[in-house]
Amino acid sequence: MTRSLAVGAAAAFLIPATAQAQTAREADLEARLRQLEGAVASLRAELAASRAGPAVAAPPPVTAPMVLGDYAPGNSPNTNVATPRAVAARESSVGALAAAPTTDGFRIGDTTVKLGGFVRLNVISSRYNDGEVPVGGLGKEFYLPQQIPVGGGFASRDLLFSGRQTRLVVSTATPVAGKVAKTLIEFDFALATAPVGAQRATNPYVPTFRRGFIEYGRWLVGQEWSTFQNLAVLPETTDFVGPLDGTVFNRQSLIRYTAPLGQGLTLQVAAENPQTETALPNNPALVDTDKDRLPDMVARVNWKARFGDFALAGIARELRTSTNGLEDTTFGWGVSGSGKIPFGMRSDLRFMATYGQGIGRYLGLGYVPDAIYTPTNNRLARIDNFAAFAALKHGWTDTLRSTFSASYQSADYPAGLPVTGLANAKAYSGAVNLFWSPIKGMDAGVEYRRAVRELLSGDDGVMDRIEFAIKYGF
C-alpha cells in the first residue's frame, strides 16, 4: 500500500498543473509511471492469491516440448502450482516476462501441439518414346520406373498440373515421468487413386496416411520410415522421391529401439511388418501373398563423424507363400550402406548402395518382386537385387542451388525358371535441377530427368521429363 501511495504521490508531483503545457519528456515520464503502477497492482494481486492458499497458475507461454527440468524440484509436471518462491521470481523479472518470445505450437494442458506441412504445386511435362501411361497412372505424377511404357510402338506426350503432394503434419509433446512422450500423424494426397474424371472439374483426392507413431525414450512404435532406409540422404528434387530406382523406400508399421553406443555411433533395432511380394514365371504382375508369419528384422548403425554422416543397415526376412494348402518359404536378406559428406560452404555428396536377395519390395516401390513362385513344383525362388544412387548438391549462392543425380537398379532372376521376357530387369535415370528460395519457407525448382526401363527381353522404354515445383512450408 505504501509503495502504491508513493508511486501515486510521485505521479501527482510530476504532472504539471497545466497539462496543455507538458513537454515531450514529461509526457514520456507520465506514461512510464502508469505502466509501473499497473505492474505493481498485478503483482500485489498475485502475491495475495498465493498467500491465501495454493492456486493453479496460469499456463506458461507456449514453448518447445517441455522436459522435467522446466519445473522446480519437487513440483509435479502435472500440477504447476504457483508457490511464493515462483511469485517472487516473477516480481524480479517483470521486464523479462513482458519480452518473452513466442514459439511454434500451442498448449493443451501439459501437451504442446504443433501443426506443420506444406502446400505444393507440380507442373510435369513428360515424353515417352514407346507408348503411353494409362489414364490416372501414378507414373504421370512422379517418377515410377515400372510405369515407363515399353512396346507401344509410338511416342506420346503428357502435361499435368497437380497440387496433391500438399502435406499436413500434427505432432505433440507431453512430459511424462521425466521424459517427453511424442506423437506424430502425417497425411498427404499423393498416392490416392484418382477418381474417374477427377480432372474434369474439381480434382478431389482422398487424404492418404503417411506416418503415425508414438516415441517415448528409446522406443518408437507405429508407422514410420523403415529402419532399412536412410531418409537423410535423399537428394532435393522436384519429384516425389527422385532417384526411386536406386533407393530403399518404404514406410510401414514397426517397433524400433534406439541405443547410443558412444563415439558418434547409434544402434537401431526393429521388428517391421512383413509382406512377401511374388510373381508367376509367365506373369510379371506383383502378387501380395499376405501369408507371412514372422516380422522383418532390421538393424542399423548410424555414425556421425566430423566429415559426414553414414549408416549401415541389414535386413533378414522370411518369404512365404501359401495357396490351397500348398506352401513354401525361403530366406531373404539385404545390406545397405549410405552417407552424406558435406564439403565447401554449400555443397554435399549423398549416396546409397543396396544389395540383397528377396528384398524387391524395399527397392523402387517394388520394381521387381521378392521371389518367383512356380505352382507346378510349389517352389518359391528369390530374386537378387542391386540398387544404388549418388547425388551431388552445389550451392551457387545462399538462395540458389543445384543437384546432379544418377540412379540404377538391376535384378537377377533364378536360373532354370522360364521367366517371361516382360519382367523388369533394369532401370536407370539421371537428373539435374535448379532450386531457388526467395523467402524463408518457400522453394521453387525446375528439373530435367531422363530415365530408362529395360525388360528381361531386352526391350526398353525411355522417359524425358521437365518438372516445375513450388512449395511453401509452414
pLDDT per position as a tens digit, 337-377: 999 999 989 999 999 999 999 999 999 999 999 999 998 88
Long-range contacts of 185-190 (CB under 8 A, 24+ apart): 185/211, 185/212, 186/117, 186/210, 186/211, 186/212, 188/164, 189/164, 189/165, 190/141, 190/142, 190/164, 190/165, 190/240
pLDDT per position as a tens digit, 52-66: 544 444 444 433 333
Residue 6 banded pLDDT, cuts 50, 70, 90: very low
Residue 416 banded pLDDT, cuts 50, 70, 90: confident
**How far is CA 237 from each of CA 1, 233, 352, 462, rounded to the nearest angstrom?**
67, 12, 16, 20
Burial 37-64 (b: 16+ CB within 10 A, else e): beeeeeeeebeeebeeeeeebeeeeeee
Cα angle value 335/337/343 (rounded, 5°): 175
Question: How is 162-213 classified by DSSP, letter by letter?
Answer: E-TT-EEEEEEEEEETTEEEEEEEEEESTTSPPPTTGGGTT-----EEEEEE
The answer to whether 255 touches 227, Cβ cutoff 8 Å, is no
Predicted TM-score (pTM) of this structure? 0.75
Cα angle value 63/64/65 (rounded, 5°): 115
The whole-number average pLDDT for the span 444-469 is 97
In 87-153 the beta strands, taken as DSSP E runs, fall at 106-108, 111-128
Which ranges of 53-166 would DSSP assign to H, the alpha helix? 84-91, 94-98
**How far is CA 207 from each of CA 164, 167, 197, 270, rounded to the nearest angstrom?**
9, 9, 18, 28
**Per-residue pLDDT, 303:** 97
**Per-residue pLDDT, 261:** 95
Q: Which secondary structure element, helix H or strand E, spans residue 33, and what is its range?
A: helix 24-52
The C-alpha cell 533407393 sits at: 247
The answer to whether 87 touches 47, Cβ cutoff 8 Å, is yes
Distance CA 413, CA 431 (A): 28
Least confident of 138-147, 185-194, 229-238, 297-306: 185-194
pLDDT per position as a tens digit, 196-252: 788 888 888 889 999 999 999 999 999 999 999 999 999 999 999 999 999 999 999
Distance CA 58, CA 84 (A): 15
Burial of 103 (0-12, 13-18, 19+ CB in 10 A): exposed
* Of 12 and 185, the one with more pLDDT: 185
The whole-number average pLDDT for the span 283-293 is 90
pLDDT per position as a tens digit, 64-102: 333 323 333 333 333 333 443 443 343 333 333 333 334
Q: What is the largest CA-CA distance in the chain?
A: 109
Q: What is the CATH number of domain 111-162+170-183+214-473?
A: 2.40.160.10
pLDDT-above-70 percentage for the chain: 78
**Per-residue pLDDT, 97:** 31
**Per-residue pLDDT, 24:** 58
DSSP state of 399: S
Please name the amino acid found at residue 363. L
**Per-residue pLDDT, 83:** 40
**Per-residue pLDDT, 13:** 38
Residue 268 banded pLDDT, cuts 50, 70, 90: very high
Residue 1 banded pLDDT, cuts 50, 70, 90: very low
Cell of 110: 501439459
**Per-residue pLDDT, 201:** 86
Q: What is the mean pLDDT of the chain?
A: 84
Report the DSSP pairing between strands 111-128 and 106-108. Answer: antiparallel
pLDDT per position as a tens digit, 367-394: 999 999 998 888 999 999 999 999 999 9
Residue 48 banded pLDDT, cuts 50, 70, 90: low
Sketch the domain layout of the chain as residue ranges: 2-103, 111-162+170-183+214-473
The whole-number average pLDDT for the span 110-123 is 96
The whole-number average pLDDT for the span 420-426 is 95
Report the DSSP pairing between strands 277-280 and 371-374. Answer: parallel
**Per-residue pLDDT, 31:** 67
Residue 193 banded pLDDT, cuts 50, 70, 90: confident
| 150 pLDDT above the threshold of 90 | yes
DSSP state of 57: P
**Per-residue pLDDT, 103:** 59
Burial of 224 (0-12, 13-18, 19+ CB in 10 A): buried
Least confident of 114-123, 318-327, 391-400, 419-428: 318-327
